[in-house]
Structure 1
């Protein structure tokens, strides 16, 4: 073999070195001419059939390419720093959408009292829905432009921060649609690579790692409502939004530092310009796991957002003050933070079908029985804890489904995640109008508990059925290879 032979990283084409830094005994190692950078300290073993002359060895030593060992997978300082930064980014980006109820009340009752109620509601709805659905735009972009990942993340963070600051100076309700409703979801560019690059840093403990990362969403939903309420009461609306926007960009830039690739991109020199043209294996679009994942995520998303949307109204209608609606949703979100870690840990140790069933059956049963027959604080707090542990935390199971679809191909991983996030966004935006329509029909008056109280009964049945339907679709994962 001559020095003109090209070397191709098996980390990218064969995925073996995604989890291994050194070559296996007996592997044939081509020469280093035109090779991409690998990481430092790697031990290179020549097979008996590959003998290099002294001149060839000297030429290899003079190569400008550095040779490095890939950082360890499933642990090590860099892997844990990546997970810490990704978790904080989840908390930062999703904290505001989870506290939007506090802002919605302020916009409606104080800032724009008596006007623009529909525009304000639309802005709040668009923020969360588009934050999910914009993944359909950013997924293909990150897959096609992997070298621009960090630049796009910083741009998304700056746009999101600017939209928060701009919302402090709105003078018309429709201004909120533009700032909070449309531009803030561009911050999706910050957290999207966190979910996809995690596949490079974690393998055997991927479910646990993804659960911990998504726990940041629950943590944001627990912290931000009280943070936002405190800022509004102490400093006023403008100061609260400006300080929040500045805090976004400053802390976000710090969190982005450890969020990087574990495996270096291949480099191909074309006309003196270093480029990369990733090839997408479109065979993933024919895999059953993709469509089962869409069905499971779509159906569960139609139901999982209902409790956080209507539980505060139910508590207010009952006249309960301890805890009130805001505190109850905060409890649910705190349980979601723990639930993500729990379901992620279970997905590493159980079959995918079993993990889906635990999540769907448990959350649907909690909705049907605990909320369904709950008319006091104790039962509703218990419901918030159990539902939070098993319902909204279903996203921790995504990593295993995505693995079945993408086979750890980086470009396909990004596309698959974008598809699933888009489906979840559709479920999120659809659950509001559907549930509002169901509340108009008083079909269960006189029944025990919430089933007979102001039309909530039909809403609970809808929530339980959609989540159970998602669990039933998950049963079919047993018929395909899910490990």
Structure 2
């Protein structure tokens, strides 16, 4: 082979590489012809003229950290209200609509969180089909979430809460979904840490929102409180959306705005055991993990606790969740998946069964809130490792798997509300030794503990599943 031909092959090979940079792939018409030594030199000069766009680094760097900060704040903003809904649940029940529409109020509270998860299954395919509209859809979702909170300030009947807070607020999932899925582009080796940090935003929001809402309700009025929350939601969320963007630009796949290469979905992921096992673990644990956040304020009110009251207990639980997400995310990077699941489920189930079950004073209930917050709601930090087993880092499959898991968790959350409310109608454990669970809460605590522990038992089967 002549020297000229060797140079030509090197040039074509370099120009075809797209692994770490965006370059222009040559066609048969613009491939340089090697006729003389000067022609070969000219071909090399043409190669050097091409602009190579290097991708930002993963697992660190300014843009990766800004993305994580923005995603964490969006997590705080979107999930802060649902994870502190127990405060509004008490206000709606005891003040705004006292003596009426208890079932509608509970449904609105559980719909908000449940549909927020389930909406991921709706928005996932939309973002995959029209990726150029990602930022636009995020802004639309932010506006809908803001309007839903402002409109809830003007409700006059319990069922109005179902429409405003229960149905429209979950559309803000359009704001949140890209934060969770694009994180897989920015973080790899430290993905557990990054996802745990982002999900910790839920705990931060759940810690801050109860005090904000309580202060607004006491100092102003319900109407002023919800309007202020809605406006603050819109303004701060718009700023946080700025660094939420792709690491791999769409120009890598598209040229001149016309799609030339579309990622194909490997639908065989639906046959992988990790997918079905993950759905089982997430679905069963979700039936119990949301119960404490919903009923702990009511439990504290029934006990007549004032220091701390129900608001403070929920805030403590959510603050522990912020730390727990980071902890479980870190452990998922260092330990086996089944060990991390066991620590989360066994610890949180035991806390429900014993600490909440026999908790009749503030000290025991504070201890319960801390332990359960560290290990229970923080289970979402383990998702990244399960998703990795299913998707094997295929971006399209990653988004679909996250959508499926979020939908399953939403079903569990929505089911836990009506189930728990029905269980509270039975007082079969009233008067037993130790008055377990106080009044009629005993059967609810057993249900919560059993569902979480069952999910942990299913997680043991992950030991037989390995990523390839």
Answer with 344-353 or 317-326: which moved more: 317-326
What CA distance in whole angstroms lies between the structure 1 residues aligned with 2:17 and 2:402?
25
CA distance 1:367–1:102, change in 2 (3 Å):
closer
Is residue 23 of structure 2 the alignment partner of residue 33 of structure 1?
no
- Among candidates 30, 47, 66, match of residue 60 of structure 1: 47
CA distance 1:446–1:169, change in 2 (3 Å):
closer
CA RMSD of superposed structures (Å): 2.5
- How far does residue 9 in structure 1 lie from its aligned partner after superposition? 6.2
- Among candidates 319, 325, 345, match of residue 330 of structure 2: 345
Q: How does 1:149-188 map to 2 (within 5 A)?
A: 149-188=134-173
What CA distance in whole angstroms lies between the structure 2 residues aligned with 1:107 and 1:384?
23
- Among candidates 378, 401, 408, match of residue 363 of structure 2: 378
Instruction: Please list every run of 5 or more consecutive structure 2 residues that lacks an aligned counterpart in the other structure.
Output: 1-7, 28-38
Is residue 268 of structure 2 the alignment partner of residue 283 of structure 1?
yes
Secondary structure of the residue aligned to 2:263 is: coil
What CA distance in whole angstroms lies between the structure 1 residues aligned with 2:460 and 2:16?
40
Is residue 184 of structure 2 the alignment partner of residue 199 of structure 1?
yes
Instruction: Please list every run of 5 or more consecutive structure 1 residues that lacks an aligned counterpart in the other structure.
Output: 12-16, 23-29, 35-51
Secondary structure of the residue aligned to 2:110 is: helix
What CA distance in whole angstroms lies between the structure 1 residues aligned with 2:161 and 2:437?
37
- How far does residue 115 in structure 1 lie from its aligned partner after superposition? 4.4
- How far does residue 314 in structure 1 lie from its aligned partner after superposition? 2.2
What CA distance in whole angstroms lies between the structure 2 residues aligned with 1:127 and 1:335?
22
- How far does residue 315 in structure 1 lie from its aligned partner after superposition? 2.2
What CA distance in whole angstroms lies between the structure 1 residues aligned with 2:133 and 2:311?
40
- How far does residue 70 in structure 1 lie from its aligned partner after superposition? 1.5
Secondary structure of the residue aligned to 2:360 is: coil
The aligned counterpart of 2:286 is 301
Task: Give the alignment's TM-score, normalised by structure 1.
Answer: 0.87
Q: How does 1:393-472 map to 2 (within 5 A)?
A: 393-449=378-434, 451=436, 453-472=438-457
- Among candidates 298, 320, 331, match of residue 335 of structure 1: 320
Secondary structure of the residue aligned to 1:260 is: coil
The aligned counterpart of 1:215 is 200
The aligned counterpart of 1:259 is 244
CA distance 1:418–1:233, change in 2 (3 Å):
same
- Among candidates 49, 66, 73, match of residue 58 of structure 2: 73
Q: Conserved in 1, the CA contact under 8 Å of 2:357 and 2:437?
A: no
- How far does residue 307 in structure 1 lie from its aligned partner after superposition? 1.5
Q: Give CA-to-partner distance per residue, 1:380-413, whole Å, 9 cap, x none.
A: 1111111110111000000000011111111111
- Among candidates 378, 389, 402, match of residue 374 of structure 2: 389
What CA distance in whole angstroms lies between the structure 1 residues aligned with 2:324 and 2:17?
38
CA distance 1:448–1:345, change in 2 (3 Å):
farther
Q: Conserved in 2, the CA contact under 8 Å of 1:133 and 1:422?
A: yes
What CA distance in whole angstroms lies between the structure 2 residues aligned with 1:413 and 1:444?
45
- How far does residue 10 in structure 1 lie from its aligned partner after superposition? 5.3
Task: Give the alignment's TM-score, normalised by structure 2.
Answer: 0.89
The aligned counterpart of 1:45 is none
Provide the aligned length of Structure 1 versus Structure 2. Answer: 449
CA distance 1:282–1:309, change in 2 (3 Å):
same
What CA distance in whole angstroms lies between the structure 2 residues aligned with 1:166 and 1:153?
20
Q: How does 1:312-331 map to 2 (within 5 A)?
A: 312-331=297-316
- How far does residue 286 in structure 1 lie from its aligned partner after superposition? 0.8
Q: Give CA-to-partner distance per residue, 1:175-208, whole Å, 9 cap, x none.
A: 3222211111110011111111111111111111
- How far does residue 243 in structure 1 lie from its aligned partner after superposition? 2.0
Secondary structure of the residue aligned to 1:53 is: helix
What CA distance in whole angstroms lies between the structure 2 residues aligned with 1:375 and 1:107?
25
- How far does residue 129 in structure 1 lie from its aligned partner after superposition? 1.0
What CA distance in whole angstroms lies between the structure 1 residues aligned with 2:261 and 2:227?
40
Q: Conserved in 2, the CA contact under 8 Å of 1:278 and 1:411?
A: yes
CA distance 1:277–1:345, change in 2 (3 Å):
same
